[in-house]
Chains A and B, each alone.
Chain A
Amino acid sequence: MSLLSIRDLSISFDTPRGMLEAVRHADLEVPAGASVGIVGESGSGKTVLSRAAMGLLHGSNVRSTGTVVFDGKELTAMTRVEVRKNFGTGMAMIFQDPMTALNPVRRIGSQISEGMIVQLGMDKKKAMARSEELLSLVRIPDPGATLRKFPYQLSGGMRQRVMIAIAIACSPKLLFADEPTTALDVTVQAQILQLLGDLRRDLGMAMVLVTHDLGVVAGNTDIVAVMYAGEIVERAPTRELFASMRMPYTEALLKSIPKIDMPSGKRLQVIEGRLPDPTDRPVGCGFAARCMYVQPKCIAEHPPLIHDGDDHLYRCWFPLEKK
């Protein structure tokens, strides 16, 4: 039984240019305690999918169909008050940019304790003491002094640690990490990912790691879902995916990572072209226009999600050979 299961979830935004389909027919299971990666390039719908799964998308222009079941309860059928009760304690989110996700005019301590006061009904003093513990848990030196600091007094890595402390404050069962390391430099990235992995093990949380970096996913997840143009185009256990990917897009994504032993001066591999217009999706496969192996059928017909056993799913008419 999965902790979170997303079934046939579609999200569109009603924009002046027409309906913008950000996520189409997404299916995803997150087992309790597991770590699931969502990979895709910018604009592929990963952030919208994770926010929709958490119940953070609302507004007059959002249209969604499909179901999200969390911990046995159907999130999509809940009222806003019930969804709110679930925030922090059930699901929590770490945001991409620690520069904008902290309020610049409030002290770190009050920002961390806020969630505990609201969701766990703690009093201020107790919440502050707990905040100090959380800061040392995310390995911030001198947590007592940090509580009284403002965000501008901390470096990017420290702020991301504070964001993590805020997210785990109410001991969520599932943690969404929306590109938690994108705004940080590489050494800090490694530390933050290490920290997230350790916290996940120690606290028994499940995690959804949203990123555009296949390298990040490889070392930190159990299951990977690759998104392209709003669809999950390939989904498999991480080991299986990297051993034999079936989707040409995943292969292209992996090839476009620069390698350290590449001769200098050699051009980086890129995926030519760009994502299809989200207000005007092509009839066939979304990747057809950029695919190396494109066939007439790819342009004419939309490929269904195909199971090949071994929990490996892909959305391609002419998949790569299984190794």
Chain B
Amino acid sequence: MRKFTIPTWFTIGWLGFVLFLAIFGSLLPLKPWEYVYENSLGVVPFSKGHLLGTDTNGYDLLSSVVNGARLSLFISLTAVGVGGLIGASLGIASAYVRGKFDTVVVTLFNVALSVPNLVLALALVSVLATNIDVNNPVPTWRRIVVLTAALTIVIIPILGRIARAATLSWTNREFVVAARSMGMRDRNIIIRHIVPNVMPSLIAVGFLAIGVVIIAEAALSLLGVGVPDGASWGAMIARGRNDLEYSPHVLYVPLVFLALTVISTNHLGDVLRSGLDRRESKI
């Protein structure tokens, strides 16, 4: 594989950093993120004791953003991982088998895609995990599970269609007929000949999808059906949206993390696609 450029190293570094925060953030010697510092409300970044400042409620923004990385990344990686696995299996199988199965799968994909992503997720979350009874709120873990599942469902048709399209073009290649002419079973042809060829485009779109899910999660938080209490980047933005006028840094801190992460996943997806594609990289 060819050498990475400087922007690519930067994106890898950033994603590594964010991933590190998500996994080991709770072990770092930071102030507790849930603690309210009543004497320092709305402190600007680079102040003494609060590196990234505090919001108008008195929460430390550095601790919050480190803590938020965990849920933001967990939700997006799970949604894309599980959604990608289900979507790719369905897409590859339907393109290989064709016939009625294919028609059913494509119809389902099209129906799912015809509903805007956000509306679909919003509908699922508000039906399955919203408290109708104010005195008996839905537990946070259930909210997170439903949110992740909703975003997974959004991802399935996106990656499924990519996998199906790629499989369609690869199954007509002569090496598939050649493999069959040597007595390979369909299952082995799919695993050994189709999947390795479908992976590059799937990985590229998968990385794009991570960005899409992070943003969708933030948007859902802003609409009030996401993770509560500033526990993810989106939730931080939602909590700070009223401070935009007088303490804009409250929004800037999670927004910068969010934007850099999404830009990084998009860029890395592109680099991986061209790197994994052996024909394109050498000719």
Residues of A within 8 A of B (CB): 51, 54, 56, 60, 84-89, 92-93, 95-97, 100-106, 114-115, 118-119, 150, 152-153, 163, 166, 169-170
Contact = CB atoms under 8 A, between A and B. Distances in A.
B183 A93 contact: no
Nearest to B188: A118
Interface string B192-214: 11001100000000000000000
B137 interface: no
A103 B193 contact: yes
B176 to A, nearest CB: 9
Contact of B183 (A105, A106, A115, A150): A115
Across chains A and B, which 9 residue pairs bring their CB atoms closest together, nearest first? A115-B182, A87-B183, A101-B174, A100-B174, A105-B196, A103-B175, A88-B182, A119-B183, A93-B181
Given A103-B193, A106-B196, A152-B283, A166 B278 contact: no
A105 B174 contact: no
Interface in B67-111: 99
A54 B197 contact: no
A152 B279 contact: yes
A100 B279 CA distance: 12
Given A105-B196, A114-B182, A115-B182, 17 more contacts: A84-B183, A84-B185, A87-B180, A87-B181, A87-B183, A93-B181, A95-B178, A100-B174, A100-B175, A103-B175, A104-B197, A106-B192, A106-B196, A114-B179, A115-B184, A118-B182, A119-B182
Contact of A54 (B181, B192, B278, B283): B181
A214 to B, nearest CB: 25
B82 to A, nearest CB: 25
B174 A166 contact: no
Most buried by A among B174, B177, B181: B181
Given A100-B174, A103-B197, A114 B184 contact: yes
A95 B178 CA distance: 7
Contacts of B174: 95-97, 100-101
A166 B178 contact: yes
Most buried by A among B175, B282, B283: B175
Contacts of A170: 182
A92 B182 contact: yes
Contacts of B283: 152
Contacts, number: 75
12 contacts: A56-B181, A85-B183, A86-B183, A89-B183, A101-B177, A102-B175, A103-B175, A104-B197, A114-B179, A114-B192, A118-B182, A152-B283
A197 B192 CA distance: 32
B173 interface: yes
| Interface residues of B, dominant DSSP | helix
A152 B282 contact: yes
A100 B180 contact: no
Contacts of A89: 183
A187 to B, nearest CB: 23
A209 B9 CA distance: 53
B184 A56 contact: no
Given A93-B178, A97-B174, A105-B197, A152 B184 contact: no
A100 B173 contact: yes
B178 A88 contact: no
A101 B182 CA distance: 12
Contact of B278 (A93, A100, A150): A150
Contacts of A103: 175, 179, 193, 196-197
A105 B201 CA distance: 13
Contacts of B188: 118
Contact of A166 (B180, B182, B185, B197): B182
Nearest to B170: A103
Nearest to A60: B99
Contacts of A84: 183, 185
Contacts of A106: 192-193, 196
A118 B182 CA distance: 8
Contacts of B196: 103, 105-106
Contacts of A60: 99
A152 B183 contact: no
A306 to B, nearest CB: 35
Contacts of A56: 177, 180-181
A66 B177 CA distance: 23
A96 B197 CA distance: 21
A97 B180 CA distance: 16
Nearest to A84: B183
A295 B230 CA distance: 90
A200 B178 CA distance: 20
Contacts of B180: 56, 87
Nearest to B281: A152
Interface in B230-277: none
A139 B129 CA distance: 68
Interface string B105-135: 0000000000000000000000000000000
A301 B119 CA distance: 68
A298 to B, nearest CB: 37
A146 B204 CA distance: 30
A104 B185 contact: no
A118 B181 contact: no
Most buried by B among A92, A96, A114: A114
B196 to A, nearest CB: 5
